[in-house]
A and B are shown apart, each in its own frame.
Chain A
Amino acid sequence: MYETSDLRKNLKIQMDGDPYVVIEAQFVKPGKGVAFTRTKLRNMITGNVIERTFRSGEKFEQADLREQTLQFLYADDSYHFMNTETFEQLELPGELLGEDRLFLIENLNVSVLFFNARPIGLTLPTFIEVAVTETEPGLRGDTATGSTKPAIIASGAKIQVPLFINEGDWIKVDTRSKEYIERVKR
């Protein structure tokens, strides 16, 4: 159990059956009155941000959150993962993964977040190495101008790459910014 005075940035609590992460917590107190904490909370399932003001002494349940590293196997109508220790498989719908689904490559280890044993989100590794499957032919020698062109990578995402990148090249991508980092040798 947490109390109002425990509310701090990044604390995870459970409210009305949903997990919330505190994004902002501020002490407020009218001169002759009781203390409050004014907060902004993000619903960890829907992503919605709400504002709530709590009286001091209110109690909160800790959100039952657990992270597990799973390996991505393949996608059909949904996305299939496996626990490489127990070989248990897990199926996640595309809506839950959002844009991240376009960065899933075979055998990639990802971290899946569970709330009360129910999967609610996924965190990709910061960098992935992936092949370029589709792009305009490269301009040899042009490594300096900084111009970019669109490319589609093996996992399905469309990102901007430098002009010298060719189909079949392997590149390193930052999954947070969805940006090209560098070409890698394979």
Chain B
Amino acid sequence: MQTIRSFFDESGYVEIETPCLVPATVPEAHVDLVGADGGLLLQASPEPQMKRLLADGWNRIYQITRAFRAGEHGPWHNPEFTLLEWYRTGAVYDDLMGEAEGLVRRLYAAVGREPPPFARLAVDEAFSRWAGWKPSRTWDEERFFGDLVRAVEPAMIPLGAVFLHDYPAGASSLARIRPDDPSVCERFELYVQGIEIANGFTELTDAAEQRSRLEEANAERARRGRPAYPIDEKFLLALEAGLPPCAGIALGVDRVVAVILGFDSIADVMSFPRSRL
């Protein structure tokens, strides 16, 4: 934690805090939230509030917070976990890949371990190599996640640290579509030894586009028989008022610590994982 904070302090970031309990959210098709009394939800990520702070005029902010995801429980999942999220105005996803690499290298150094080699690999290239198709050409969500889990993630285990980048536009989440190639978006994920550590984007700043993606996520939830979630209208208002061009990234703190220390589950680095409660 000290290493993380000094990394951001030195890079001119301000540590902020936003609430864990929220009345509305940015729905995702495959993330189930934990509900609380009084119509409140526990956040899956502090993204909407942090972007509102950027719209208010903050330029470089980070926070270490708790995030909650219902039903996620396994060696690399816990329903409550620690998330590090940071945002920077005037930056693009490429800048954040550099920053994330710098931070992870610093964390390896802090525990006296040799960092793995870092590589960058486009999603289309990874899938052509290990699954025999290009997801940006013929988007198929079912096939994409199936091949990601069965073929691509295992293939990345021996490669050290890999930034998988330029996700297909269909998997854009809250990322900006690449202006020079609308089939992909400016999104990356950092994998270390095949474990997903961080997810970053050049952020989508178009309010109308954002609204339609959130509504689509709720529609997809309904198709899967999952409850829809209230959309955070104040977040959309902030986008309408003007979110400056920016990039943001979320990094799983439990995971990065477990991977660096060579454990094979996050339970090894949590004082009270779900199984101990």
Contacts and interface: CB of A to CB of B under 8 A. Distances in A.
A53 B77 CA distance: 17
B28 to A, nearest CB: 7
Interface stretch (A33-41, A95-103, A166-174): A33-41
B72 A32 contact: no
Contacts, number: 48
Kindly state the interface size class of chain A when it binds its partner. Answer: 10 to 19
B77 A29 contact: yes
Given A33-B30, A34-B30, A35-B30, A28 B149 contact: yes
A26 interface: yes
A26 B146 CA distance: 15
A27 interface: yes
A55 B199 contact: no
Contacts of B141: 33
Interface in B1-39: 28, 30-31
Nearest to B187: A32
Contacts of A27: 72-75, 77
B196 interface: yes
Interface in A22-55: 26-36, 38, 53, 55
21 contacts: A26-B75, A27-B73, A27-B74, A28-B76, A28-B149, A29-B74, A30-B148, A30-B149, A31-B199, A32-B31, A32-B171, A33-B144, A33-B148, A33-B149, A35-B30, A35-B72, A36-B149, A53-B149, A53-B150, A55-B142, A55-B146
Interface of A: 26-36, 38, 53, 55
Query: Across chains A and B, which 4 residue pairs bring their CB atoms closest together, nearest first?
Result: A27-B74, A33-B145, A36-B149, A53-B150
